[in-house]
Amino acid sequence: MEHQQHPGDGDHVALIQAAWRRERPDLDVSPQGVIGRLHRLAARLTGELTLVYQRYGLSEGEFDVLAALRRAGAPYERAPGELAAHTMVTTGAMTKRIDRLERAGLVTRRHAEDDRRGRVVALTDAGLRLIDEAFTAHVRNEHRLLSHLSPGEAAALQTLLTTWQQRLDGTEPTDRTG
């Protein structure tokens, strides 16, 4: 039997749904149960994740840039446009992030060897050491956050979220077996 939230339960989303059901009984506000909770959870998770980045003197965006460079593998470099694509930000926002990281001595910029007009951003030794340390702490933090779910719950949630994202993006594989 599904647990119905009551205003005294402390579930903010349930309180909002109850108010809307009272004020607009003509509308089915059940999607808020999922969307509202995901939105609130995303904000909570972002706060928990950025605490770790801040311990290393990084913003979320700076962490993303360093992580994208580290994931590229040796020699840990990418063109600014590639970095923007791998972190899903505009090239203008990427330039600002790279500027800050370069001033901090964590990345360098140079001309691309195959195209003198192109630029390449690379991790410095200090940047490599910092992202390795920060990423290790980040993964520990992600494990801590997921520890509130059983392994089966986490796997089921990952499957559901992946399916939903693929359907929204129109990238769901057409062959569904099982």
Whether 85 maps to a domain, the answer reads yes
Mean pLDDT to the nearest integer, 40-49 = 96
CA 38 → CA 18, 34, 43, distances in Å? Answer: 18, 6, 9
- Model pLDDT, residue 90: 83
How far, in Å, CA of 1 to CA of 30, rounded? 17
- Model pLDDT, residue 88: 79
User: Is the pLDDT at 6 greater than 80, yes or no?
Assistant: no
Strands of the 119-123 sheet, one edge to the other = 77-78, 119-123, 107-111
- Model pLDDT, residue 156: 97
* Token pair 């990423």: residue: 135
User: Is the pLDDT at 9 greater than 60, yes or no?
Assistant: no
* N residues, the chain: 178
Whether the model clears a pTM of 0.85, i.e. scores above it, the answer is no
Whether 88 maps to a domain, the answer reads yes
Mean pLDDT to the nearest integer, 153-176 = 89
Mean pLDDT (the chain) is 90
Whether 103 maps to a domain, the answer reads yes
Whether 142 maps to a domain, the answer reads no
- Model pLDDT, residue 177: 55
User: Is the pLDDT at 58 greater than 80, yes or no?
Assistant: yes
121 has which bridge partners? 78, 109
User: Is the pLDDT at 175 greater than 70, yes or no?
Assistant: no
How far, in Å, CA of 110 to CA of 75, rounded? 13
Whether 33 maps to a domain, the answer reads no
Look up the CATH number of the domain holding residue 128.
Answer: 1.10.10.10
How far, in Å, CA of 95 to CA of 106, rounded? 14
Total number of domains in the chain: 1
How far, in Å, CA of 141 to CA of 147, rounded? 10
Q: Among candidates 118, 109, 61, 54, which has minimal Cα distance to 84?
A: 61
If pLDDT is split at 50, 70 and 90, which confidence band does 112 have?
confident
Whether 156 maps to a domain, the answer reads no
Mean pLDDT to the nearest integer, 20-37 = 95
Range of the domain at 81: 60-134
- Model pLDDT, residue 17: 95
Mean pLDDT to the nearest integer, 71-86 = 91
- Model pLDDT, residue 26: 97
Whether 123 maps to a domain, the answer reads yes
Task: Determine what percent of the chain is predicted with pLDDT higher than 70.
Answer: 90
Whether 96 maps to a domain, the answer reads yes
Q: Name the more confident of 5 and 149.
A: 149
Element (H or E) spanning 127, and its range?
A: helix 125-146
Q: Which two tokens stand for residue 144?
A: 């801590």
How far, in Å, CA of 45 to CA of 122, rounded? 29
